[in-house]
Structure formats: structure tokens, C-alpha cells
Amino acid sequence: MNTTVQEPLLRVDELVKTFREGPLVLRAVNDISFEVFPGETVGLVGESGCGKTTAARSILRLTEPTSGHVYFEGTDLTELSSRKMRAQRRHLQMVFQDPDTSLNPRFSVRRTLAEPVQLHRLVDKENLQERLLETMSRVNLDPEFLGRYPHQLSEGQKQRVGVARAIITEPKFVALDEPTSSLDMSVRVHMIALLLRLQEELGMTYIFISHDLSAVRALCNRVMVMYLGRIVESGPTNEIFDRPLHHYTRALLSAIPIPDPTARRQRILLKGEPPSLFEVPKGCAFHERCPDAQTGCPETRPILRDVGGGHLVACDRF
């Protein structure tokens, strides 16, 4: 895909999300900026607690950002009133990690899917059933499932309902928050294939949050790596996987299982633990765990630099 002649569908500028606990400030998302172009899938990866989900929720204003701007098709979402933001939500959807908590146990599948259609007044009553059946077909669920409740569904079926709820409004942008994490391996493969097909059919743009780096490689055009609320490396997927530069990225990728039982990969184990999000270092947040830390790293925060071909890394060694 040639992004040089396109305007970004989504642009995030200096996004910050903090939480206060008494006098302490937790920096969950710490000044991130990036663009997502139409039709792309951008992966967002990193350890648990690095800020991936909070970033996605802040972009969609499911959680209000502390500062920064999010532009969707040129409109600054952070400046919109609640009423105007509601009008945008049909174009901005999210598939949540755990369908057991994101699906209302008292709602049938029919009511779960009908609610966003009715909220945004997308079709009249006479055409609602057709929209429901079409969406069920898109996610490979039999129409009889419309009458079922979450407890009557398997994990894979529940996650397909979550996907159906997100796509029934025909959104332009979908944040996928660990959509395969609750599924066993065989079902994960089918879910990834489904997401790829839906993107092609509906022309959607994704941010894909996942710990499953094999799924990230299969699904994503570009990858962003987060550490302690900051993006430390980003670039085309093959470039990141084949030529990781940041030591944190190298450690993450070294943990990917290899299908060949006779093959061995050198596992990179980082020293120490990540600093507390309440006390993020003012310089490089990774310096205490980095084998190549320099004397200036604790004081100087590295910026993302393009080292060629859209491969960006936040490290002063490059």
C-alpha cells in the first residue's frame, strides 16, 4: 500500500493519559504520536501494563485523554462535545479482549447487535432483520444464534458476536484489543482469517493490540512497540520482525515460539523489572534494563528517529 499519496485516516498527536491516586500520578500513556492510513492494520505490542489498551480507549474517547489530540478524517475528536462524539462512534468501534465482560449477559445476540443500529438510526424497523442476518453471515454465525444469550455460546462464538457488534455499523476504524487472547490456537487461526476477510470486504482500518506476535505478523502492515506508555520502535512489520533495533523489541521477539521443534532461538532475558508507572524516568525509561545504556540515557529522553524506510526507533545509539 502506498501511503505517501494518502492522508491519514487517524492522527494521534502527543497523546497523554494519566491517573491520579492521591498525590501520585500514574502515566499510562506518556506522549505518543503516530498516524494510521486507510486500509492499514497497525499492531500495538508490548508487555502487560505498558499502556496499549489505555491508548486505544483514549483514542476512541472511551477514556478521556488527559492531553493531546486525536484527528479522525481531519476532525479533532478531543474537541468534540459528547453529542458530536456520539455521532462519530458509528465510524469508530472497538472489539474488546474479554467477551464475557463486554457482552451483557441479559441481552440476546439479537438485542446486542440491534442496539447500535437503532442508536445510530442506520436502518428502519422493516430493514433491521436484514441487517442482522447480513452481519451474522459476515462473521460465520448461523441465524439461529440471534435468539441465544452469551452463556449459551462458546468462547469463539462470543468473540464473533463481539466482532459482529463492532462491524454492524460499518465503521471505518476498529480497535481490536486482544481479540484472540481468550481463544485456543485452532480458533485463533479462524479469527485472524475472519478479521482479514472483513477488512477486505468492508474496507476497514485496524489497530490490533496483541501479545500474540505471530498473529501480529500475520495481520499487520506496521507495528508499534510500547514500553512504559511510550512508543520505542515502529515500522513495517517485516522490518520490525527481521531487523529489530531497540533492545526491548529484540527481547519481545525472542520469546516467539518456533514451530520447528528442532530449531532454537536465543532467548533474550532483560535484567531487572520495569520502573513503576508512578515514577517513570525523565530520560530513557528503558535505560536501567538496557545492556548498552550510556551515561546520558537517564537524563535525555530519546525521540523516535527514522533510520530508513519508515523504521523509527527511540534510542540515541542510532
Is residue 188, in this structure, part of any structural domain at all?
yes
Domain containing residue 271: 10-313
| Separation between Cα atoms, residue 171 and residue 238, nearest integer Å | 28
Is residue 277, in this structure, part of any structural domain at all?
yes
Window from 109-118, 169-178, 264-273 with minimum mean pLDDT:
264-273
Please report, for the domain that includes residue 265, its CATH number. Answer: 3.40.50.300
Is residue 63, in this structure, part of any structural domain at all?
yes
| Separation between Cα atoms, residue 239 and residue 222, nearest integer Å | 9
| Separation between Cα atoms, residue 191 and residue 183, nearest integer Å | 9
Mean pLDDT of all residues in 133-143: 96
Mean pLDDT of the chain: 92
Residue 286 CB burial class (10 angstroms; 0-12, 13-18, ≥19):
buried
Distances (CA, A) of 157 to 26, 118, 139, 142, 145: 36, 23, 9, 10, 9
Q: pLDDT confidence of 275, banded at 50, 70, 90? A: confident
pLDDT tens per residue, range 238-259? 999 999 999 999 999 987 766 6
Residue 91 scores a pLDDT above 70: yes
pTM of the model: 0.91
How many domains are contained in the chain? 1
Is residue 2, in this structure, part of any structural domain at all?
no
Q: pLDDT confidence of 3, banded at 50, 70, 90? A: very low
In this prediction, residue 193 carries a pLDDT of 94
